[in-house]
Homo-oligomer: A and B are copies of this chain.
């Protein structure tokens, strides 16, 4: 294993020490969270599945590189970590184009508005435009939700071939998050096909009681779905029919504007 680290032209394999050190480093970064903002060496080891010696080596490496700081006992991430996510966001021209359109949409509708992309069975938030209404979910950029029970998720899945959609649903833990959540493959496939046909998707309290959400697709140059845009609302202030009538045209228009801006910019 020590040997492969010197053969820098070889394609890396999962068991490769080069891949492993990198993978472990990223796991250590991901072991920090709201529940574990500061961790001891032992806690990092336990959460990332490393030995104490291995965790120590990674933590000291991260500290050498400025991504972790420590008082000798407790370790903490530094803001330098944000550079990595920033590299992604700034490298995707779509997000700079989309943000002003989404702000206008949030102002026009008075509801929070987000954009997300698909990663395996989950959606990842890439833009959040808040209104000043308090939502029970605090979902910042980078946060994740399962695709099967969210409007953006179903719409993003709808951009894939049926066989792929079904494979991803089978790989998901389909649990009833509320009494409304659909959890059967057949009924989910039906909803996803419907989203594909009509070009939008509404999910009524399947993620969380009281939460309504409506999504529309942003298309890339080749006609593929590259992102979803949504508006969320609260069931005690609006009902699905009212939401569709009042806000669906504005949502679809915003998604189309972003699609056109993308095309005009020549960006992907």
- Contact between B60 and A12 (Cβ–Cβ < 8 Å)? yes
The distance in angstroms between the C-alpha atoms of A67 and B25, with both chains bound, is 13
A19-47 contacts to B, CB under 8 A, are 19, 21-23, 25-26, 29-34, 36-38
B8–A2 touching, CB < 8 Å: no
A163 close to B (CB within 8 Å): no
Q: Does A184 contact B (CB under 8 A)?
A: no
In the complex the two chains form, is B30's CB within 8 Å of A83's CB? yes
- Residue pair B26, A65 in contact (C-beta under 8 Å): yes
Size class of the A contact interface (CB-based, 8 Å) = 35 or more
Give the residues in chain B near A83, CB-CB below 8 Å.
30, 142, 144
A21 to B76, CA, bound (A): 22
Are A91's CB and B19's CB within 8 A?
Answer: no
Q: Which of A130-138, A147-155, A168-176, A232-240 is the contact stretch?
A: A130-138
Interface segment out of the listed A100-108, A210-218, A247-255: A100-108
A246 CB-CB contact with B under 8 Å: no
Whether A21 lies near B23 (C-beta < 8 A) is: no
Give the segment of A48-56, A201-209, A256-264 that binds chain B. Answer: A48-56
Residues of B within 8 A of A188 (CB): none
Q: CB of A195 within 8 A of chain B? A: no
Contacts A18-B57, A82-B141 given: A91-B12 contact, CB under 8 Å?
Answer: no
**A: which residues have CB within 8 A of B?**
1-3, 5-6, 8-12, 14, 16-19, 21-23, 25-26, 29-34, 36-38, 51, 53-54, 56-58, 60-62, 64-67, 76-93, 96, 99-100, 103-104, 107, 117, 119, 124, 126, 129-130, 132, 134, 138, 140-144, 267-268
- Can you report 18 residue pairs joining A to B where beta carbons are below 8 Å apart? A1-B6, A2-B6, A5-B5, A9-B56, A19-B65, A22-B25, A22-B61, A25-B25, A29-B84, A30-B87, A66-B119, A77-B91, A78-B119, A79-B119, A80-B124, A81-B85, A82-B126, A103-B130
